[in-house]
Amino acid sequence: MKIWIISFFAVLVALYSFWVSLGIEETAVPNFALDLKDPDYYIENMVRRTMNVNGEIGTILYADLVKHFPSDDSMELLKPYLQLYNTVGEPWHVMSETGWVSAGNEVILLHGEVEIWRLDSEKNRVIQALTSELRVLPDDEYAESDQPSIIIHPSAVTHSIGLRANFSHNHLELVRQVRSKHKNKTSG
């Protein structure tokens, strides 16, 4: 009889220990699962260089702050500044308030006030464009916006709705409702 009582209490202690261990495992192990909608890392003062097929600099992307999102491998940018190099002359410069980069870096969406410019060999702006919501395809050296745009050239200021930029051919195109005002040159 004594063995039955000891066995009974041993089984009760074992069941109680098992029940307590289940409760401890559920409450003691913190849940470190990452919400994929949240950024998994941040970078301050980022500089990213990409090379073209010839091993030369293709683009340089600067940003004050980068947030990376693991759910789609995209990045959000604060104050992005992009330099696009081509084989002819000085690079193109593109700057905006915020931006987004797709996975694989195929598409860059620039938001807010967007400024595009190019310098001559003496570092003077030879052309400047102002727009918003610019879509940049860095590998294709192409950008476009369907928003109101202004191109400022040394001899004219032109307004339009929509802008296309072919950086490889150093060409800016205004899409529709184009109005231009040429600057008068006075002789002195």
Which pTM was predicted? 0.73
Residue 59 domain flag: yes
Distance in angstroms (rounded) separating the CA atoms of residues 44 and 64: 6
186 DSSP assignment: -
Smallest CA-to-CA distance from 154 within 117, 114, 115 is with: 117
Residue 188 domain flag: no
Distance in angstroms (rounded) separating the CA atoms of residues 105 and 51: 13
Q: Do 69 and 16 fall within a single domain?
A: no
Q: Do 16 and 49 fall within a single domain?
A: no
Distance in angstroms (rounded) separating the CA atoms of residues 181 and 169: 24
pLDDT tens-place values along the chain, 188 residues long: 667 666 666 666 666 666 666 665 554 445 555 556 788 889 999 999 988 788 888 889 999 999 999 988 899 999 999 999 876 778 999 999 999 999 888 899 999 999 999 988 888 888 899 998 999 998 888 999 999 999 888 888 889 999 999 988 888 888 888 887 877 655 44
Q: Do 99 and 65 fall within a single domain?
A: yes
Q: Domain of residue 26: give its range.
A: 1-32
Q: Of all helices (H) and strands (E), which one includes residue 77?
A: strand 74-78
Q: Position of tokens 């996975």?
A: 103
Domain harbouring 138, CATH code: 2.60.450.10
